[in-house]
Structure 1
Amino acid sequence: MPKARETVLEIDLKKLKHNFEYLKSKLDNNTLFLAVVKAFAYGNEASEIANYLETIGADYFAVAYIDEGVALRKAGVTKPILVLHPQTVNFKVLIENNLEPSIYNSKILKEFIEIASAEEKQNYPIHLKFNTGLNRLGFWHSDVETIHNIIGETKTIHIKSIFSHLAASEDLEEKIFTLNQIETFKGIATNFEETFGYKPMLHICNTSGILNYPEAHFNMVRSGIGLYGFGNSEEENIHFQPIATLKTAISQIHHLKKGETVGYNRAFKTNSVLKTATLPIGHADGIGRIYGNGKGFVTINNQKAPIIGNVCMDMIMVNITDIDCNEGDEVIVFDANSTAETLAQTANTISYELITSISQRVKRIIRGA
């Protein structure tokens, strides 16, 4: 690949395909695959990724908010799109773009029926979210009869699926809790079928659920982080390929004397002669201040260069005293070898937070199309 001369995020669709096929290999042939592409496809590039996943066999997509779904429709995505956290003010836009809402309480269920009815819709697909232990969004298991009473005889909507979200599927020490969630969900599904007289589609598994709880795959599974190259465990990470490489280049090299300081607030003070490199990437690009002062690092010519001083808005400074490099040389912030997960761990956070923070001002380059 060409060497970076500026800050870029390279996205490899061949690796995306590898991850998709690995996850699909865990499923029965009749189990649908929902690709989660919220937050710009976890900080990557949602439109390109969703269109590519559609061509290689993704059955469904999920976004967090309605505007994200609208953007995918404008980009040409035709498969169903589930909106996980729709806001009622945008329900009309959702319907205009043939998006499918997650309905998680009685208030928004009533509002959606009212708006869909005003739009003269028939059997409009909705998805009911049930809370089984994450305690974030969702109806309670005891709400099935209430839902039935609200819907009544209306033909405006059709419940396409009921679903829930596992709270700790990656943590096998929480297996009993997860199994209890799954059993609670099964009970909700049975109650629903008895109350409504038909079987909707069921889904509860996220990436770690796919890998650790095959008995809970039901009709469909949802994967986000796995598609982008992370398996949430050392054992599984070897099967995944991170799809993104964040690169930049050295803008300037400084030779500092003992006792000089680096960056804002003079947060770093040299103990000896030091060589530093300034890079054109900072917290406005997604490298937060938590990575400064020796916690985070970049890789230059296969050697680690610690971040020194405070991370600036548009720049970071790194220690290159023992690295043979020059102004203009390529710098790897994270890639398949020195992963985003590894960098995130230096600041006691997770890969999700780091990769979704990469600013939209960073140029995206799509490879492997």
Structure 2
Amino acid sequence: MTVKKISWTNAIALAAVVLAITAVVVKNVEGNTGRQLLNVSYDPTRELYRDIDQQFVAKYEKETHRQIKIKQSHGGSSRQSRAVIDGSAPADVVTLGLYSDVDALRKQGLIAEGWSKRLPNNSQPYASTIVFVVRRGNPEKIHDWPDLLRPGVEIITPDPKSSGNGKLSALAAWGSVIKRGGTQEQARAFLKAFYEHTTVLDTGARASATTFAVEKVGDVHLTWENEAIREVAESKGDLEIVYPPVSILAQPYVAWVDANTTRHRSEADARAYLQFLFSDEGQETIARSGYRPINPQIARKYSTQFPKIELFPITLIARDWDDARQKFFAENGIIDLVYKPKPQ
């Protein structure tokens, strides 16, 4: 048998070819892993974005031939906003409960000026409100805001310093007095009594739901409408929703985080992801998940799911969200004056 010798020159050339092929294979494998977005959201949206993410990923890959993975982070809306600001949650997109929680990122230079005009409906893909969840048969006969202050009634709602749900509950309670012609002094007295009936302030909406529904603490739970729908559906008849005659108009906001999408090179993906929320498919999923869609045709289709309730805007009780944040939730604001933590 004849053994053919390979010269050093040929050996080096062959090695170079092998390395080049390997580099191409590695690059292709890396390319096939796709892209990734981090959606930093508020507490009770886990189920909504689980469904949205599945639909968007399939649609995006079909249209662009690019794979994408969506990661989620959930917690109290204001706490989530702070996590994006301090860098512990490097969000590509935020889908938070309050305008002020998103705009706080603009103030820190993370989101561009005019961010709310970059998407339809001022970057509000759906609306919601605060409703009551009570136990079977409504034993405390709670139907309206004044009923919350009856002797012995124990309220469960999240901490207004960390939770969008907690902030909206406080603002809804205050506004329920103003809406009916009450004075600022009467609203302050009502909110002070409200917190005297509140024995547990969890950090977010889902933790409060667990306290009320699972641990069976309290007589009434003030929560997002979608969370109330989920909570009651999972209770197997142990809980009921009560719609008070009036409550606050809650309008969650969404945005891509320019500082992070620039660094991650993910702006096009992030923009497409958020635009999907305003599509017919996204709006259908939003409605099925217990949020009030902005698409009028889809809203009519799901009208029986959302009882009519008089919803007042933030401008009833403050100039705008910035004013409300300063007036109610800043240091030495109204919340600090009316709520005194109970000794442990």
TM-score calculated relative to the size of structure 1: 0.26
Q: Which structure ranks higher in relative contact order (CA pairs < 8 Å, sequence separation ≥ 6)?
A: 2
Higher share in strand: 1
TM-score calculated relative to the size of structure 2: 0.27
Larger Rg: 2
